[in-house]
């Protein structure tokens, strides 16, 4: 032990799990902390950072989303001073050589691939929300970050409760060669109570609601006059009214629709006022401060929203203007929002506990269909309920609409049933290029076997082989004691079944009309009679027959499982499971002149530094388009790259676009149809291009909104910032070879990165 850990840190009394994790970190181990939302995992990270600064060490803090990175930057800057803290998020770079550098996980991965030597002076990397490793679209980034970490760097992973944290730790141990300690906390300081709510039952459990629903349905079915009547809708207002009466405010109300977040906030404001006059004055003061800070006086929306804010009600989602988000978060942090309607992004990392958490439904839209919430998702959001030091309990409610009620849609409220973390590892073209750029071919095969997916597959195979061995042993023992006459007509059980078949055939014979069929059935009957006559029946008691039948049934079940296990074990691919994908992508890259004989060509060198739509942007560059397009056109095009439109969003008419799409479409067609690149890997959707063009030319933001009737302010800002991020990557990739274009792209960035689009830190 290097030093004694104090009982308190930042006026918080350290829990046992926090002290345990800190002690392991100071002893030189990597540590995974798996604990419920809201119990104080981040305090471990805060202690480690403070200790690193005192010791003169440098540290990296990674977060899954930019909003959390920005929040942490503000916090750390306040605690440690501006000179000690930096941030890199792709579209923002401040003090990148600071003692504590906050960044998105993608940026950390990029540094590992391009400038690994920058990390030599760092002692630790912190992965906040490390369970994002199981995210389908982004999980690979976490795996690559861990695989390529320098051997001397130690890791602190902070995670929501995951059952297989030890498996994750064992994987990290295996590939990094040092011990990883797991610190788990399963209980909460403020325990949660889980309810479903409907006016029919009030707040209750799922079993009681289901019984009441079945009873109500039966009563309605018996009344002819009510058969075509729908049940009365249960609304969010019913639930908020109940929570208010039960002294359950403040409340965080999750709604999986941006539009519904806003609609429900307005609906509630028509009926409720949760603030005192003194609190309203404080709200007014904060609103005026934000208006002045961001020059929002001419923005009518913020003045309209005053009505709901002054009643202690707000909403929060990704489509909001960042300045408006900041206002809402400040109000919420000061307990001036008593009911917050929010999408699930509000549950990621941002520490705003409440007394009650509500779910408007047990299902969510995942972009394709409505699906039930996973247990992990449920607890990630539900964990915000219960304020430490204020509440004795936290309360969680799911609104149950009996018009759409299905018991199987409801998530488990048992934390022991949270799903295990599963690898989502996959290879991008950028990954393939950087593997060849930084490693020899034999090394690449070794690296491809180091991912968590392969580790889990090996573990699965080992578990299956052990189970198969036990099943074989057990079935063999049972087979040895099964009667030798089992299955023959000497067995009383088999004989009874044969006689039953005989009687059935004899009855059937009487009704058969066709001569041939009748003759064939008669022969079968005679053969069965002969077989019965020739066999010598065993004289077994009914008890013996019953025991034998149960033994045989058990054996047959075991043997069936054995066959299934043998098939699964033989078909499982463990080592080399990503070789096929590597070869397929390498072949495409060779055909496109990105790589030759394992060495990157100029196209490959460029694409290795681009981390989204790398093939599309590389083709733009080598076709000379960035040189041909003017700065405003570049900005209008870059926001269309890798843009995911919302439902119903349309591409403007070609006449409204400030560039000719023909050459862009030609490149996309070549990538997809000539070279076989997956369509999802070539995304170009120019719905925001006319707006970006105007913005680049100097248009004011609120004037810009006049041309964006179907788009939300936050989506516009996010798209512009994504464009800035891509421009930075392209500029870095061409800086050495093409300084004139790099200067042009710098101008493009400056035109985009201004006013309300600029991140205010």
Q: Are residues 124 and 37 in the same domain?
A: yes
The predicted-structure confidence for 209-221, as pLDDT tens digits, reads as follows 888 888 777 776 6
**Of 417, 448, 478, at which residue does a domain stop?**
417
Domain-located, residue 446: no
The pLDDT-based confidence of 59 (bands split at 50, 70, 90) is very high
* Of the residues 385, 417, 449, the one at which a domain ends: 417
Q: Within this chain, do residues 280 and 356 fall inside the same structural domain, yes or no?
A: yes
Mark whether 112 and 201 lie in a shared domain: no
pLDDT tens per residue across span 613-664: 999 999 999 999 999 999 999 999 999 999 988 887 888 888 889 999 999 9
Task: Tell whether 178 and 227 lie within a shared domain.
Answer: no
Per-residue pLDDT tens for 682-715? 999 999 999 999 999 999 999 999 998 788 999 9
Mean pLDDT of 588-614: 96
The answer as to whether 602 is a domain residue is no
> Of all residues in the chain, what percent are helix, strand and coil, respectively (each to 5)?
55, 10, 35
Mean per-residue pLDDT, 340-349: 82
Q: What's the mean pLDDT in 540-555?
A: 81
Find the angle CA(431)-CA(434)-CA(435) to the nearest 5 degrees. 85
652 C-beta neighbours (distance < 10 Å), count: 14
- Domain of 246, CATH number, reads 3.40.50.300
Query: Could you tell me if residue 713 is inside a domain?
Result: yes
Counting every residue, how long is the chain?
Answer: 761
Contact 685, 643 (CB under 8 A): yes
In a domain, 246, yes or no: yes
**Residue in this structure with the two tokens 């803090």, named with its chain if needed:** 61
Q: What is 128-178 written as a DSSP string?
A: TTGGGGG-TTTHHHHHHHHHTS-TT-EEEEEES--TTHHHHHHHHHHHH-S
CA 157, CA 364: separation in Å to the nearest integer?
Answer: 28
Q: What was the pLDDT predicted at 1?
A: 43
Assigned domain for 657 exists: yes
Q: In a 10 Å sphere around its CB, with 0-12 CB exposed, 13-18 middle and 19+ buried, how is residue 237 labelled? A: middle
752 vs 89, 91, 628, 719, 739, CA distance in Å?
Answer: 16, 11, 19, 11, 20
| Domain presence at residue 409 | yes
Comparison of pLDDT for 431 and 8, the residue scoring more: 431
Would you say residue 571 has pLDDT above 90?
A: no
User: Taking 70 as the threshold, does the pLDDT of residue 227 lie above it?
Assistant: no
Enter the tokens of residue 456: 């889990």
Residue 504 falls inside a structural domain: no
**Same domain flag for 721 and 738:** yes
Q: Among 432, 434, 430, which residue's Cα sits nearest to residue 115?
A: 434
Query: Would you say 132 and 139 are in contact if contact means Cβ atoms under 8 Å apart?
Result: yes
- Total domains in the fold of the chain: 3
3-state secondary structure of 13: strand
The lowest-confidence range among 187-196, 279-288, 555-564, 593-602 is: 555-564
95 within 8 A of 138, measured Cβ to Cβ:
no
pLDDT for 228 beyond 60: no
Shared-domain flag, residues 89 and 201: no
* Same-domain pairing of 638 and 751: yes
Reported pTM? 0.86
- 163 and 221 assigned to the same domain: no
Residues 6+ positions from 725 with CB-CB distance below 8 Å: 89, 90, 91
Q: Does residue 224 lie within any of the structural domains? A: yes
Which residue among 386, 402, 417 closes a domain?
417
Structure tokens at 398: 């799911």
- Domain extent for 17: 8-184
- For the segment 229-257, the average pLDDT, to the nearest whole number, is 88
279 and 409 together in one domain: yes
Q: Which residue has the tokens 């539900």?
A: 382
Pair 89, 308: CB distance under 8 Å: no
Shared domain for 204 and 150, answered yes or no, is no
The per-residue DSSP string of 528-547 comes to: HHHHHHHS------HHHHHH
The string of pLDDT tens digits covering residues 95-113 is: 999 999 999 999 999 999 9
Contacts of residue 687, defined as CB under 8 A and 6 or more positions apart, other chains included, come to 640, 643, 645, 649, 650, 651, 652, 711
**pLDDT higher than threshold 50 for residue 445:** yes
Kindly report, residue by residue over 118-149, the tens digit of the pLDDT.
898 899 999 999 999 998 888 999 999 999 99
- Tokens describing residue 543: 């008890």
Hey, how many other C-beta atoms are within 10 angstroms of the C-beta on 42? Answer: 17
Residues 44 and 162 in one domain: yes
The C-alpha atoms of residue 145 and residue 434 are separated, in whole angstroms, by: 13
Q: How many Cβ atoms are within 10 Å of 704's Cβ, its own excluded?
A: 19
Residue 392 confidence class, pLDDT cut points 50, 70, 90: very high
C-alpha 204: how far from its chain's center? 30
198 shares a domain with 180: no
Radius of gyration of the chain (CA): 32
Distance of alpha carbon 609 from alpha carbon 114, whole angstroms:
8
User: For residues 161 and 87, what is the distance between their CA atoms, to the nearest angstrom?
Assistant: 28
Neighbours of 116 (CB within 10 A): 13
Share of the chain above pLDDT 90, in %: 62
**CA gap 413, 368 in Å, rounded:** 25
- Give the CATH number, domain containing residue 753: 1.10.3380.30
């Amino acid at each position: 032990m290097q030093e004694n850990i104090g009982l308190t840190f930042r006026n918080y009394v350290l829990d046992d799990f926090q002290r345990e994790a800190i002690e392991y970190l100071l002893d030189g181990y990597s540590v995974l902390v798996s604990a419920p939302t809201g119990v104080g995992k981040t305090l471990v990270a805060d202690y480690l950072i403070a200790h690193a600064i005192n010791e003169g060490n440098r540290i990296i803090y990674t977060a899954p989303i930019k909003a959390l990175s920005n929040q942490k930057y503000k916090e750390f800057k306040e605690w440690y001073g501006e000179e000690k803290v930096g941030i890199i998020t792709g579209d923002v770079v401040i003090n990148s050589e600071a003692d504590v550098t906050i960044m998105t996980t993608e940026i950390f991965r990029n540094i590992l691939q391009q400038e690994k030597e920058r990390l030599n002076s760092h002692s630790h990397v912190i992965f906040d929300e490390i369970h994002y490793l199981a995210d389908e679209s982004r999980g690979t980034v976490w795996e690559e970050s861990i695989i390529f970490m320098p051997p001397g760097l130690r890791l602190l992973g902070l995670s929501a409760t995951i059952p297989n944290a030890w498996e994750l730790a064992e994987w990290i141990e295996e590939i990094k060669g040092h011990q990883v300690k797991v610190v788990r906390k399963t209980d909460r300081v403020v325990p949660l109570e889980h309810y479903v709510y409907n006016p029919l039952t009030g707040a209750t459990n799922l079993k009681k609601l289901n019984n009441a629903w079945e009873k109500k349905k039966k009563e309605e079915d018996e009344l002819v006059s009510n058969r075509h009547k729908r049940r009365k809708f249960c609304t969010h207002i019913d639930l908020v009214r109940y929570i208010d009466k039960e002294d359950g405010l403040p409340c965080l109300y999750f709604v999986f629709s941006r539009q519904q977040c806003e609609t429900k906030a307005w609906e509630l404001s028509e009926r409720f006022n949760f603030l005192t006059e003194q609190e309203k004055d404080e709200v007014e003061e904060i609103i005026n401060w934000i208006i002045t800070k961001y020059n929002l006086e001419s923005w009518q929306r913020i003045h309209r929203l005053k009505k709901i804010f002054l009643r202690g009600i707000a909403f929060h989602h990704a489509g909001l203007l960042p300045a408006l988000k900041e206002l809402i978060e400040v109000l919420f942090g000061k307990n001036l929002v008593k009911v917050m309607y929010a999408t699930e992004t509000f549950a990621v990392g941002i520490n705003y506990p409440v007394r009650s958490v509500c779910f408007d439904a047990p299902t969510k839209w995942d972009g394709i269909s409505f699906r039930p919430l996973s247990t992990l998702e449920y607890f990630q959001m539900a964990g915000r309920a219960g304020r430490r030091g204020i509440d004795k309990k936290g309360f969680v409610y799911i609104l149950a609409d009996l018009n759409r009620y299905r018991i199987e849609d409801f998530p488990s409220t048992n934390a022991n049933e949270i799903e295990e973390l599963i690898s989502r590892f996959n290879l991008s073209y950028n990954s393939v290029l950087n593997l060849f750029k930084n490693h020899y071919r034999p090394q690449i095969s070794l690296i491809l076997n180091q991912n968590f997916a392969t580790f889990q597959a090996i573990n699965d195979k080992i578990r299956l082989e052990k189970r198969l061995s036990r099943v074989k042993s057990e079935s063999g023992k049972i087979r040895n004691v099964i009667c030798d006459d089992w299955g023959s007509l000497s067995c009383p059980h088999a004989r009874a079944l044969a006689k039953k078949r005989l009687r059935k055939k004899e009855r059937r014979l009487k009704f058969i009309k066709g001569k041939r069929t009748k003759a064939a059935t008669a022969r079968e009957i005679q053969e069965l009679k002969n077989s019965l006559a020739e066999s010598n029946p065993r004289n077994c008691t009914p008890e013996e027959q019953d025991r034998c039948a149960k033994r045989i049934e058990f054996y047959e079940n075991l043997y069936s499982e054995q066959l299934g296990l043998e098939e699964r074990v033989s078909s499982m691919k463990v080592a080399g499971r990503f070789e096929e994908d590597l070869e397929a992508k390498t072949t495409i890259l060779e055909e496109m002149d990105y790589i030759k004989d394992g060495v990157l060509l100029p196209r490959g060198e460029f694409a290795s530094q681009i981390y989204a739509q790398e093939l599309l942007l590389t083709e733009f560059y080598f076709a000379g388009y960035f040189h041909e397009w003017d700065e405003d056109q570049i900005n209008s095009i870059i926001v269309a790259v890798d843009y995911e439109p919302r439902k119903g969003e349309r591409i403007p008419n070609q006449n409204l676009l400030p560039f000719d799409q023909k050459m862009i479409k030609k490149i996309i067609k070549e990538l997809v149809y000539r070279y076989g690149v997956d369509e999802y890997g070539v995304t170009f959707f120019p719905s925001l291009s006319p707006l970006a063009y105007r913005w680049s030319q100097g248009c004011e933001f609120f004037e810009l909104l006049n041309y964006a009737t179907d788009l939300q302010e936050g989506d516009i800002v996010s798209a512009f910032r994504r464009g800035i991020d891509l421009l930075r990557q392209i500029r870095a990739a061409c800086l050495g070879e093409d300084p004139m274009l790099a200067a042009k792209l710098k101008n493009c960035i400056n035109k985009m990165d201004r006013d309300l689009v600029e991140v205010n830190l």
